[in-house]
Amino acid sequence: MAISFEIIERVGISTISSSDAIKKVVEEAHNEKKVSWFEVQEERGRVTQDSDIEYQVTVKIGRKLV
């Protein structure tokens, strides 16, 4: 029996931390459809106009197809 996965890519954003951005984006995807695994592809950030640091992460998410 073969198992297949769909892969989606999402960007999570947080002003708290990179870890928080990852957690938020994975939880959001999981609420839509069960997440089997995830992989952080890229981490970056920026300084906002209010001088806050914004963490941005690109995450690849795998979902098992039934």
CB atoms within 10 A of CB 60: 14
The β-bridge partners of 42 are 58
CATH class for the region spanning 4-65: alpha beta
* Average of per-residue pLDDT across 22-42: 97
pLDDT of residue 58: 98
pLDDT of residue 55: 98
For the chain, percent of residues with pLDDT exceeding 90: 95
Give me the DSSP letters along 9-37. Answer: EEEEEESS-HHHHHHHHHHHHHHHS---E
Are 29 and 46 within 8 A, CB to CB? no
pLDDT of residue 1: 81
- State yes or no: pLDDT of 19 exceeds 90: yes
* Average of per-residue pLDDT across 36-48: 97
